[in-house]
Structure 1
Amino acid sequence: MSKVSASKIKPIDAEMLEHLVASENGRDVLEALTLMIERAGLGIGDRLPPEIEIAKKLNVGRSKVREALIAWQNMGIVTRNKKAGTRLAAEVSSNDLHMPLTLKLEAESLLRTHAVRRPLEIEVVRVACRNVTEQQGRVILARATELIAVYEAGEDWRTADHGFHITIYEASGNPLFEQLIRQIQDGFNAIYEAPFGRAHLGQATIPLHLPLAKAIVAGEVKIAIAYMEQIMDMVEAEVREVMEEQS
């Protein structure tokens, strides 16, 4: 993003917050802020009011406002700086879409985090294929089998899925993969625990996890990467499908 001169930064009238519904829920706080930004016609580079001012107007704790803004920072929607304050780094506007603005913002945020996570997930699979030990291979296959069993039983597979991917990160031998991917994911999940209200976004990819595990254990780099790329493609396609359904 290009630098925005101070003369182009327009302060936000805090009165824009007067009629927003107060809530202690982080997601609701972000929805209130989204409404404020749209009402004020703010664009990239514009500054938001101080946290304490937003908290007062929304009648919520300052920590909730900070938590919401940090989540937005992690998703690339705002930048935060002690001297410059909190400024928009991405467009928050309905544009020509007919879908609710908050849903549009959620979808765009998920696509941004997904775009950053994708190359990391692919690279960790590549490295894991080369570094996986016999013991780690057994654990990876066991976790994949467990994931498939939970999925086929119609139960909540998210915890099993997380455990499966952790074994791949560990097999890579580089703890930074897990740290970076977790940071990216946590930035989104801090507010949007269930994207679009769908707790099992990406469920259609679960059957691919067992052949992915087998390819990693066998050291078949190209095949493993192909499975991971397919998984990431399917998740992205599902997000875009939701956007089209709502537009």
Structure 2
Amino acid sequence: MASDSLRGDDVLHALPANSTSRDVLDALSRMIEEQGLKVGDRLPPEVEIARQLGIGRAKVREALTSWQNMGIVTRNKKAGTRLAAEVSSNAIHLPVTLKLEAESLLRTHAVRRPLELETARLAAQQANDKQRLLIEARAAELMAVFQAGEDWRVADYKFHAAVHLACGNPLFGELIQQIQQGFNEVYEAPFGQPHLGAATIPLHAPLAEAIVAGDEVEAERLMGEIMDMVEAEIRQVMETQNV
């Protein structure tokens, strides 16, 4: 049965004044594991977390909102903030903060995958001439940056944004951005690897070609291959860290 109280008064330790949202969530992760909290258990109120950590309440609210967007907690005024996902290092031999990061990334990726596949298919079906030219240009820009050995993340974002725009339904892009935002606000570089997914970049050129050619089946297949490769890389990093 879920409990409504933590054992002890001060279960968190003060953080430096310049702490980030990730620092706040790392502290909460350790607290949750040490206290043995389970799904359904309630976390301390924002004001109490802020007091114990010695930081502003706004920073706590920002951090917890990120967790809410990732499906780790639920929040409402009457029930407070409650765990919606397991926060424990017991299942695999990883530090709890790294395990939580990996599970959060896999969770958001699983939701994003079908949206990206359908977006690619619809873009191949719906894109007008101007949108096709933009997709070609964004793909060329991405490949040029990647082949030059530069940071390709912004170019990759612009390419996918062009595909989302071409699908004819703005909700797809908005939903995908919302899903990723919660994770990216905390984990700017997953596992400390800012270029996670680099192996998928060469596939973006044929993906653009398929969309421009109106080949819905090939566009969806290539997007699926890209998403599968990213998931496989996440799991491989988990296994490496586990070792």
**1:99 Cα deviation from its structure 2 partner:** 1.4
Rounded to whole Å, the distance in 2 between the matches of 1:236 and 1:178 is 20
Rounded to whole Å, the distance in 2 between the matches of 1:68 and 1:19 is 16
Kindly report which structure 2 residues correspond to 1:179-218, keeping only aligned pairs within 5 A, or say none.
Answer: 179-218=174-213
**Which of 49, 55, 58 is the equivalent residue of 1:54?**
49
Count of matched residue pairs: 241
Q: Residues 143 and 163 of structure 1 are in contact (CA less than 8 Å); yes or no, is this contact kept in structure 2?
A: yes
Change (3 A) 1:22 1:214: same
The C-alpha deviation readout for 1:8-39, integer Å capped at 9, x for no partner, is 33312463534354452110110000000001
Rounded to whole Å, the distance in 1 between the matches of 2:8 and 2:154 is 41
The C-alpha deviation readout for 1:77-112, integer Å capped at 9, x for no partner, is 000010000000000011142211100000000000
Runs of at least 5 residues in structure 2 that lack an aligned partner in the other structure:
none
Aligned to 1:26: 21
Rounded to whole Å, the distance in 2 between the matches of 1:104 and 1:20 is 23
Rounded to whole Å, the distance in 1 between the matches of 2:154 and 2:12 is 40
Q: Does 1:85 align with 2:53?
A: no
Runs of at least 5 residues in structure 1 that lack an aligned partner in the other structure:
1-6
Q: Residues 132 and 212 of structure 2 are in contact (CA less than 8 Å); yes or no, is this contact kept in structure 1?
A: yes
Rounded to whole Å, the distance in 2 between the matches of 1:138 and 1:93 is 48
Q: Does 1:43 align with 2:30?
A: no
Rounded to whole Å, the distance in 1 between the matches of 2:9 and 2:107 is 31
Change (3 A) 1:147 1:19: same
The C-alpha deviation readout for 1:143-199, integer Å capped at 9, x for no partner, is 101100000000000110011111111111111111100000101001001111111
Rounded to whole Å, the distance in 2 between the matches of 1:91 and 1:151 is 37
Aligned to 1:97: 92
Rounded to whole Å, the distance in 1 between the matches of 2:84 and 2:46 is 17
1:207 partner letter: P
Rounded to whole Å, the distance in 1 between the matches of 2:8 and 2:178 is 31
SS in 1 for 2:41: coil
Q: Does 1:9 align with 2:27?
A: no
Change (3 A) 1:214 1:18: closer
Q: TM-score, normalised by structure 1?
A: 0.94
Rounded to whole Å, the distance in 2 between the matches of 1:186 and 1:16 is 31
Aligned to 2:220: 225
Change (3 A) 1:56 1:194: same
1:214 partner letter: E
- Structure 1 stretch displaced more, 219-228 or 9-18: 9-18
Change (3 A) 1:38 1:20: farther
SS in 1 for 2:92: coil
1:11 partner letter: S
Percent identical pairs in the alignment equals 63
